[in-house]
């Protein structure tokens, strides 16, 4: 297996370029739209970087590999048998307070 020593050099440069380009794009879009549309003031490059970080914190991993919850999907993807489905329905009815399903209600005599 070859050692990829060049990643040590290229990765920091690529990360810095990505942050710089992202900050510039956000700054120029903000300064083009926000003052005209909302009468807000223009922002600096560092404020644009802060805005990117804030969006990352608030909105999470948009466009990434998925959320932490995505690991649950394969476990929940199996199809339920008729017995499992009926058991689940009864459990939901008892939890939500719906009582007996309409098909099981007794009609007055």
Q: What is the pLDDT of residue 20?
A: 94
Alpha-carbon gap, residue 101 to 95, rounded angstroms: 13
Q: What is the pLDDT of residue 109?
A: 57
Residue with the two structure tokens 């199996």? 78
Using 50 as the pLDDT threshold, list the residues of the chain that sit under it.
Answer: none
Q: What is the pLDDT of residue 98?
A: 72
* 43 and 51 Cβ atoms separated by less than 8 Å: yes
| Every domain of the chain and the residues it spans | 1-61
Question: What percent of the chain is helix, strand and coil (3-state, nearest 5)?
Answer: 70, 0, 30
Chain centroid to CA 57 = 11
């Amino acid at each position: 297996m070859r050692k990829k020593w060049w990643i040590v050099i290229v990765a920091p440069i690529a990360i810095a370029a990505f942050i710089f380009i992202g900050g510039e794009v956000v700054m120029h879009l903000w300064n083009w739209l926000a003052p005209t549309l909302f009468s807000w003031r223009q922002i600096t490059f560092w404020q644009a970087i802060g805005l990117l970080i804030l969006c990352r914190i608030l909105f999470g991993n948009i466009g990434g590999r998925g959320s932490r919850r995505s690991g649950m999907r394969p476990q929940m993807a199996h199809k339920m048998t008729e017995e499992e489905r009926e058991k689940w329905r009864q459990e939901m009815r008892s939890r939500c307070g719906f009582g007996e399903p309409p098909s099981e209600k007794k009609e007055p005599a």
